[in-house]
Structure 1
Amino acid sequence: MRPLLSTVIVNSDGCADTLRCLESLFAHPPDLATLARLVDALPEHEIILVDNRSRDGCVAQVRERFPSVKIIESPTRQGFSRNYNLGIRQTSGVFVLVLNNDTLVHPGALTTLLNVMIETPSYGMAGPRLVGRDGWVQAVCARPVLTPREYLLTQSIADPGFPIGRLWLLYQQMSVARRRSGLAPCISGACMLVRRTAFEQTGLFDEAVDFYYEDIEWCHRMACYGWQVGYVAEATITHIGDQSISKVKVWAKQSEYFSALRYFRRYHHLTDQDARVLRIVTSFGWLMRGITFLLAEGLFGYKGHARAYLYLWKWILSDPSADGTQAQRKQ
């Protein structure tokens, strides 16, 4: 018999968030005794923390405050997918919860998620209703899989940094807030409850993707294998978001760009010509963001990411690797 649930969390120099996440997990555990009987599992919840070679002393603090948590230290500093796969391979639960360290578990959320997965054997994975620290529902918790056309829109006129982009994001948030539980093409990697039999068939996160699109790709692959993806509106998790990547903005945006190329080549048959268009539009979006932040800094003293986006704009136009060949070689 396996434990009912295994949870995997990754810490990458985000100790304060990680400790708060663990506190919420222990404060609001699932109803293991009742649920485990439904799937003939042990009423146990194993928690695994993968530390990404952090320099914040988190490992020692977790060992002291949460001795039952199993800690795995990454062999090298690496991306999201590799770290989570490292942890998932060490799990033994019937269900595995992939959980970002900048999340807070609400009362009853895990019980509700597990109950839905048990009652719906066609679900390969399911995700909760994600809310930000402001209480707004996050649109990414139940969304369509992204197409190249939608990517181009988000990188240009629908960018959240521009007024029309903010209105579009608000519309998406309001739509998801009204959405009921049920099938969803894609859920967020911030919190994914995955069935072991499903990922044993479909595989884990695509390790060629460092950051971004790893959740979209996994959901898409689940569907390709015949598994459904579920959204559970009755389970709520707070997702603070953008904590660790705010320290590595340039790397994160480069990874997002290459991950988009890889995903679109694999599932949308992106041609080299299409990739060039995507590159041009992305460069335009980064330039506009850089100028916007620059104006905000000069006029209002706002500390933004002007330098990062202007660097990215120069990089994508001048670096030969930005033409998509790197993404092709990884396939």
Structure 2
Amino acid sequence: MKNRLTVVIVAYNSENYLEECLESLYRQTAVPDLKVVVVDNASADRSIFPVLQARFPDLGVLLNSENLGFATACNQGINCFPASSYLLLNPDCVVLNDAVGKCLKYLESRPEIGIVGCRVQNPDGSLQLACRRSIPRPSIAFYRLTGLSRLFSRSPRFGSYNYTFLDDRQPHPVDAVSGSFLMFRSEVAEAIGLLDQTFFLYGEDLDFCYRARQAGWIAYYYPEAAVTHHKRKSSSRDPRVNNYHFYNAMKIFYRKHYAASAGSLKERAVFLGIDCLYSLALLRNRLFGRSDVGSQG
């Protein structure tokens, strides 16, 4: 028998945040037939899991012997616990005010919607831009690289990538939501498949939403539900590793969705640009000691 909702949390050295995430999830979620599973990608310290299983007896735990990547681990959780809907939730998120129940109700009430994302915010309450995105295009990349998207964030043209021209307190359709909180109905996965395991870290959420959109499903940003996200606390602690996967995901996405129609010359130019961005990110990390990856969007 299917669960109504399976929540999949992929953990990797997330012991400082995982218990708070689970506590908020169980406390703030009153959904019948709910299953929560944590898939651990070979964390260095696993001593917390017996504690968590004692505190949350219904919690499912899958322990991988190596780090298989975010997409593969998500798919493991989905395959082990079938449900009518699924939620991918980062372990460094804190669920607020029945966010899961609100999103599930919204998803189930709108049959044309295949994917729902909530308002993902920083600990200070400000919006994390990545929770609502459009599909990357060359023009969008240009606006972001030149700073036009920040200078003219209220412009429908220049602010299109993160929908900064729209009120972030109002629901609206989007091309993609963030994998930190990504809810989808099982029919979407049946139509397009699960997450693409070619993506090790980053990019799999954008790819999944893009494929769903191509199959006719609508993704929605639903800010009446919210989580606090301690950004980048659930990935590798080495910014060099995170930066590599972040920019490599760009190449994978481009090669998968654009390369065939763009031609080899354009592909080389795009990859050269990505390599330059990667090098600049590494230099910024080294000079200024910044551990951020990519951009805020």
Counterpart of 2:264 (choices 272, 279, 299) is 272
In 2, the alpha carbon distance for the partners of 1:59 and 1:177 equals 40
Please, what is the CA RMSD of the aligned residues? 2.6
Distance in 2 (alpha carbons) for counterparts of 1:45 and 1:249: 35
Partner of 2:4: 4
- Match for 2:268: what amino acid? R
- Equivalents in 2 of 1:75, 1:293: separation in Å? 30
Distance 2:168 2:290 in 1: 32
Structure 1 residues 228-258: Cα deviation after superposition (integer angstroms, max 9, x where no partner): 1111121111111111335132222222222
Which has the larger displacement, 283-292 or 218-227?
A: 283-292
- The correspondence of residues 139-178 of structure 1 with structure 2, limited to 5 A, is 139-151=129-141, 154=144, 156-158=145-147, 172=162, 175=165, 177-178=167-168
Q: TM-score, normalised by structure 1?
A: 0.78
Residue 12 of structure 1 deviates from its aligned partner by 0.4
CA distance in structure 1 between the aligned counterparts of 2:140 and 2:217, rounded to whole angstroms: 24
Residues 127 and 134 of structure 1: is their aligned pair in 2 closer, same or farther, counting only changes over 3 Å?
same
Determine if contact 2:251/2:271 at 8 Å carries over to the other structure. no
Cα distance change of structure 1 residues 106 and 287 upon mapping to structure 2, 3 Å threshold: same
Calculate the TM-score normalised by the size of structure 2: 0.86
Given candidates 80, 86, 100, the residue that maps to 2:76 is 86
Distance 1:263 1:256, change over 3 A: same
Which protein has greater RCO, CA pairs closer than 8 Å, 6+ apart?
Answer: 2
Paired position in structure 2 for 1:123: 113
Equivalent position SS for 2:82: coil
Task: Name the counterpart of 1:161.
Answer: none
Which residue, out of 193, 211, 235, partners 1:221? 211
Deviation at 1:105, TM superposition (A): 0.6
Whether the aligned pair in 2 keeps the contact of 1:51 and 1:59 (CA below 8 Å) is: no
Offset of 1:142 from its aligned partner? 1.4
TM-superposed CA distance for 1:80, in Å, is 0.7
In 1, Cα distance between the equivalents of 2:191 and 2:15?
Answer: 34
Gaps of 5+ in 2: none
**Greater helix share, 1 or 2?**
1
**Residues 38 and 59 in structure 2, CA contact (< 8 A), matched pair in contact too:** yes
2:99–2:225 CA contact under 8 A, matched in 1: yes
Kindly state the Cα deviation for residue 290 of structure 1 after the two structures are TM-superposed.
4.6
User: What's 1:37 paired with?
Assistant: none
Whether the 8 Å CA contact 1:137–1:177 is kept in 2: the answer is no
Look at both structures and tell me which one has the larger radius of gyration over its CA atoms: 1
Closer, same or farther in 2 for the Cα pair 1:226/1:49, shift >3 Å?
Answer: same
Residue in 2 aligned with 1:51? 40
1:5/1:96 contact within 8 Å kept: yes
**Secondary structure of the equivalent of 1:88?**
helix
For residue 11 of structure 1, report the CA deviation from its aligned partner.
Answer: 1.0
Q: In 2 relative to 1, CA 52–175 (structure 1 residues): closer, same or farther, beyond 3 Å? A: same
Q: Which one of 241, 246, 255 corresponds to residue 251 of structure 1?
A: 241
How many residues in Structure 1 have an aligned counterpart in Structure 2?
285
Asked if the contact 1:124/1:195 (under 8 Å) is kept, the reply is: yes
Counterpart for residue 202 of structure 1: 192
Give the whole-Å Cα distance in 1 for the aligned partners of 2:264 and 2:120. 36
The sequence identity of aligned pairs, in percent, is 24
One-letter code aligned to 2:123: R
Measure the CA separation in 1 of the matches of 2:92 and 2:114: 24
